[in-house]
Structures are given as structure tokens and as C-alpha cells.
A and B are shown apart, each in its own frame.
Chain A
Amino acid sequence: MGENPISIHVLGICSALAITTKIDTAVVMTLAVIAVLSISNTVISLLRNNIPNKVRIIIQMSVIASLVIIADQILKAYMYDMSKLLGVFLGLIITNCIVLGRAEAFAMQNSPGKSFLDGLGNGLGYGAILISVAFFREIIGFGSIYGKQIITNQMYLSGYENNGLMILSPGAFFILGLIVWAHRAYTKVLDKE
């Protein structure tokens, strides 16, 4: 992973940052994005030689939007509580920079097989960052990991307090900035070697 992919992934998660207060919501969101991204990439790749150039973007967006609607409907039927927590943010996958970006940059020029894998890979990269942010926000903000309380009552009694700022929006921005910094520093170290 070089410099660009992580920046792109960071931009792509913007629409989902609001749900990164807990890890479980981040996991479900990631699964939805992986599903939508890989399927949309495949479908668009299958159609790539037939799409008239004028309506290219609209067709791509229609495919993506339809997949998101289907994902939303499935979630509402089978994971009702989770769909309430994700709210409108599931729908915002449509405007996710990564999904449209990969459709245009990769799926339009490559075979369905490769496009599917590209979607899968990008989805996983997206998930890695999203879940990392959620991990830090949940542990520092709530003292739990995936719902399981990690910080014990003992620690609370001795003066430890959950950091409320993590739960609010600035927390997510700070964590993201720090993750990007850490990653860049890491790859720079790798480059030097």
C-alpha cells in the first residue's frame, strides 16, 4: 500500500465516520460496502463495452444505488436493530468516493473477474481503516470492545474515565489524522530500508 490508496480510503470513509462510535456498526457497514463494491464492480465490468459514453456516470450510479437499496432492504428485514443504528448512513454508500471511483477507474477497463477482486480488496482496505477508527473510539470512549466491557469497574473506581470527546465528532477526526500519520511514517520507514 503506497501513499495514495490510504488517502483515498480515508476520504472514502468520510460518509461512514458517524457510525464509528462502536465496532459492531463499523463491521456491518464494512460488510455492506464490500458487498456493494464487489458486485457493482462486477456488473459494471460486465456492461463496460455496452454502456454509451454519454450516460456512463448515470448508469454507474444507478447500478450502485440499486445495490445499496437492496442491501438496505435486506438489512431492514434480517438485522432490524442494526439497520436502525446505521440509519441513513447505509444509503450514503452511494456517494462513497471509493465505490464510484473504482467503478470509473477500474471496472470500466477491466474484466469482471479482476473487477470483482478489485472491489473486494478496496472494500477490505476501507474496512481496515473504518474498524480501526471504531476500535479506538469505542475503547477510549466507552471502555469496551465490540460491546464487551474491557475497562473494569475497578479501573473506573480508581479514577479512570471514559473520554467523552472520542464519542463526539472531533475524536474521529483526530484518530483518522493520527492513523494517516502513523501509516505514512511506517511506509516511509519501509521505503528507507
Chain B
Amino acid sequence: MQHYINIIINSVFIENILLVYFLGMCSFLSISKKVETSIGLGLAVIFVLSITAPANWAINEYLLAEGALDWAGLENINLDFLQYIVFISVIAAMVQLVEMVMDRFSPVLYVNLGIFLPLITVNCSILGTSLFLVEREYNLLESTVYGFGSGLGFFLAIVSLATIRKRMRYSNVPPTLRGVGMSMLLTGLISMAFLGFSGIGL
């Protein structure tokens, strides 16, 4: 049990996929202007990650990795070079699914998120999480927990930045620094704050 809690603490605070690995920034910077949309996007990412992480793990384990196909008697085939393309296809399919579900159950949120929902597909953090869990050789439960934790970390980072940016509107930011420049500096400060967690004795 402790091990899985450690994975979550690790992926939210110490190895935050956005603040430490820089993944997921593209949509993050454009959407973090409004806190509500950030929360919506963050939750969608948590959901997508929690599904795609175990799905991609299973596909890698039973189809792609070296010796994975020995249940079909083809243990000499190594398809791991197909990882990138298979993972991204699975992610695209899952996001499509989420879109349809969201449209059915919460049309308001669907409209608000607009273009950003399909953009989750190309969000580096989703593909990154799947690739990391393969690299770290996690098992199924670890992968699912890691996917969830990774999404949680992304959620935390994106909502923090959105709330800070909301406050920044009342500050005197130099005109040339406004927008992307300021967001970068802010993210750097948040990232620095999170660095303080790296001393946690897990």
C-alpha cells in the first residue's frame, strides 16, 4: 500500500510531469487564463491518463514488448518499435471516447473546453506518462496509480498557474513580459516551490 502512495506522492510533488519534465505546457499556457476551464481540463486529463496508462501498459505487455507475444507462440517477435504509434492511437481513441461521453452528460463543459479536448490527444504529458511507465517497468497496478498521480500533478500545476494568473491581472507586469513570458517565470517559481518536496523521505 505504501508503495502505491509513494508513487502518487512521487508523481504529484517530486516528479510532477509538468513542473519537472515540462510536459503538457502547450494547452496549459493557452487555457490557464480562466480558472474554471483549467479545472475542467485538469479533470479531463486525470481521467484520460487513468485510462490510457493501464491500457497502454496492457498493450505493451501483451503485444509489443520483447517476448510479449509468447501467448500466441511467437515469443521471438519484438514489436517495441511500434510503441510510439500504437500508444498515440490508443490515446486518440480514448480521448474521442471521453469527448462523446462528455457531450452526452455535460454539454456545458464540452462547449467550454471547445478545441482543448481534442488537444489533449497531442498533450505531451499523456504520451509522456505512457512512455515513462514503460521505461520504469511498472506493473499494471503501478501503471494505473502512476497515470492517476501524473494527472493529479498536472491538475495541481495547471490550476495553481490559472489562479496566480488571475491575480496577476491586478499587478504591474511590464508590457513586453505579459503573456507567455510571465507565465514561464511564474511556472518557474511554482516549480521551485515544488522542489522543496524532493527531500521527502519516501
Contacts and interface: CB of A to CB of B under 8 A. Distances in A.
Q: Do chains A and B touch in the complex (CB under 8 A)?
A: yes
Interface of A: 7, 10-12, 14-15, 17-18, 57-58, 61-62, 65-66, 68-69, 72-73, 87-88, 91-92, 94-97, 100, 165, 168-174, 176-178, 180-181, 184-185, 188
A92 B26 contact: no
Contacts, number: 124
Contacts of A172: 22, 188
B49 to A, nearest CB: 14
B88 A61 contact: yes
A160 B82 CA distance: 47
Interface of B: 19-26, 29, 81-85, 88-89, 92, 118, 122-124, 126-128, 131-132, 135, 174-177, 179-185, 187-189, 191-192, 195
Nearest to B188: A173
Contact of A15 (B20, B23, B81): B23
Nearest to B183: A177
Given A12-B26, A18-B21, A184 B84 contact: no
B181 A181 contact: yes
B198 to A, nearest CB: 9
Contacts of B132: 88
A165 B82 CA distance: 37
Contact of A69 (B81, B176, B195): B81
Contact of A91 (B127, B191, B192): B127
B138 to A, nearest CB: 14
A8 to B, nearest CB: 9
A62 B85 contact: yes
Contacts of B175: 188
Given A15-B22, A88-B131, 10 more contacts: A10-B180, A88-B132, A94-B127, A95-B123, A168-B191, A173-B184, A173-B187, A180-B181, A181-B176, A184-B181
Nearest to A12: B26
B85 A170 contact: no
Nearest to B182: A177
A35 to B, nearest CB: 15
B82 A69 contact: yes
A14 B188 contact: no
A94 B84 CA distance: 8
Contacts of B195: 168-170
Given A15-B22, A169-B19, A94 B182 contact: no
Contacts of B126: 95
B176 A65 contact: no
Contact of B184 (A58, A94, A180, A185): A180
Contacts of A68: 84
